[in-house]
């Protein structure tokens, strides 16, 4: 399950007309809202949907495993409107999902696992006031001052386990306009969105009967919304890249059914400079080489040409087979995996994650 397929769980009211959303009894994301930390590190249960999304690369210290691993750890929270006014203590008013994936680049294997539980009863928790996510024995916690965050996460999947410590090395990156990230022509289709790029990662990976000491880099997104996308968007292409010079690049393109772009955006932060929000006309995704999944028959562009504020880049997947089948939970099939960022001269200048949705089937909003 990825952040876009999560929207499949939401009722039809999510994609209603703007006038309906404006009359909703629930809060909406507004550009005038001011994010406050550490409070906004935590959960926002009044909003319909929310996620804490970590992607990154890991390198084992062992010489027997010289190739890197890609990893994903994600916690989702959802408000369940049908149960909102129930007086039963057993009503599932809030749900927590968790998802993890591991890309073994050396073996060309992708492994993943997922969970779901209602909040409470000792099963799941999404803490307000600071990052604190629990789903049975899977956890993500934040500690430390606002500008010196330390995250710890433990996930024990079916075929591997991750115990990681992620340390902030740069200032928070508020996406869009001070954390207000518009996702379409209508301002009501928006989220509050911040990132923690260039996280330093250390920990352990238990995999194939080995316990490996690992280190690497990661990117964390935290995003919440009442009405993120409108009905014209059927797919999504996104990158989050940690550049070797310390820069951080995020870019996305929402696709219409005919493949044309519905909305684009992103951010670019250079070392020692403030973050720059990218306008739709400053972002262009052009698909390149296609890979056809033998499982779903979906055709994914595993290479992209990017134009970012007048600069040309290429995104190239570290391996083709990074498709995830989440039909047991949200019903979606999507591609998300470790990728490199190359400059116009073909030099690798960064590493991060590429996400592509809506290729196996149109996103159901």
Domain CATH code at residue 208: 2.40.370.10
In a domain, 33, yes or no: yes
In a domain, 285, yes or no: yes
| pLDDT tens digits in sequence order for the chain, 365 residues long | 444 444 444 433 333 444 444 455 678 899 999 999 999 999 999 999 999 999 999 999 887 778 899 999 999 998 886 656 555 655 667 899 998 999 999 999 999 999 998 888 889 999 999 999 999 999 999 999 999 999 999 999 999 999 999 999 999 999 999 999 999 888 888 999 999 999 999 999 999 999 999 999 999 999 999 977 788 888 889 999 999 999 999 999 999 988 899 999 999 999 999 999 999 999 999 999 999 999 999 999 999 999 999 999 999 999 999 998 877 666 578 999 999 999 999 999 999 999 999 998 876 53
User: Domain total for the chain?
Assistant: 1
Q: Are 37 and 218 in contact (CB under 8 A)?
A: no
- Cα–Cα distance between 244 and 331 in angstroms, integer? 36
- Cα–Cα distance between 53 and 73 in angstroms, integer? 6
In a domain, 363, yes or no: no
In a domain, 365, yes or no: no
In a domain, 362, yes or no: no
- Contacts of 19-23 with CB under 8 Å at 24 or more apart are 21/188, 21/226, 21/227, 22/188
In a domain, 287, yes or no: yes
Its domain, for residue 135, covers 5-357
- Cα–Cα distance between 364 and 7 in angstroms, integer? 8
In a domain, 238, yes or no: yes
Which pTM value belongs to this model? 0.90
In a domain, 277, yes or no: yes
The span from the first CA to the last CA of the chain, in angstroms, equals: 14
């Amino acid at each position: 399950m990825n952040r876009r397929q999560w929207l499949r769980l939401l009722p039809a009211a999510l994609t209603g007309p703007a006038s309906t959303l404006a009359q909703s009894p629930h809060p909406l994301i507004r550009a005038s809202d001011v994010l406050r930390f550490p409070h906004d590190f935590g959960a926002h249960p009044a909003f319909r949907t929310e996620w804490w999304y970590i992607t990154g690369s890991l390198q084992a210290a062992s010489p027997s495993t010289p190739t890197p691993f890609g990893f994903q750890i994600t916690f989702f929270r959802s408000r369940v409107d049908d149960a909102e006014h129930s007086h039963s203590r057993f009503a599932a008013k809030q749900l927590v999902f968790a998802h993890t994936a591991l890309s073994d680049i050396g073996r060309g294997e992708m492994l993943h696992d997922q969970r779901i539980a209602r909040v409470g009863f000792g099963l799941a928790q999404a803490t307000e006031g600071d990052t604190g996510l629990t789903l049975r024995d899977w956890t993500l916690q934040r500690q430390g001052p606002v500008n010196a965050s330390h995250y710890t996460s433990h996930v024990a999947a079916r075929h591997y386990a991750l115990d990681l410590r992620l340390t902030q090395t740069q200032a928070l990156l508020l996406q869009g306009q001070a954390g207000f990230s518009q996702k379409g022509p209508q301002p009501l289709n928006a989220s509050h969105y911040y990132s923690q790029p260039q996280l330093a990662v250390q920990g352990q990976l238990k995999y194939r009967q080995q316990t490996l000491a690992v280190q690497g880099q990661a990117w964390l997104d935290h995003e919440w919304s009442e009405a993120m996308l409108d009905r014209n968007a059927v797919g999504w292409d996104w990158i989050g890249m940690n550049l070797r010079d310390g820069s951080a690049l995020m870019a996305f393109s929402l696709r219409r059914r005919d493949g044309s772009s519905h909305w684009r955006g992103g951010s670019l932060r250079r070392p020692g400079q403030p973050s720059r929000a990218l306008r739709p006309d400053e972002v262009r995704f052009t698909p390149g080489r296609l890979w056809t999944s033998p499982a779903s028959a979906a055709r994914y562009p595993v290479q992209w040409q990017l134009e970012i504020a007048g600069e040309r880049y290429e995104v190239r997947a570290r391996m083709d087979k990074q498709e995830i089948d989440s039909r047991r939970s949200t019903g979606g099939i999507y591609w998300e995996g470790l990728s490199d960022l190359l400059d116009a001269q073909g030099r690798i200048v960064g590493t991060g994650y590429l996400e592509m949705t809506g290729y196996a089937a149109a996103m159901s909003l």
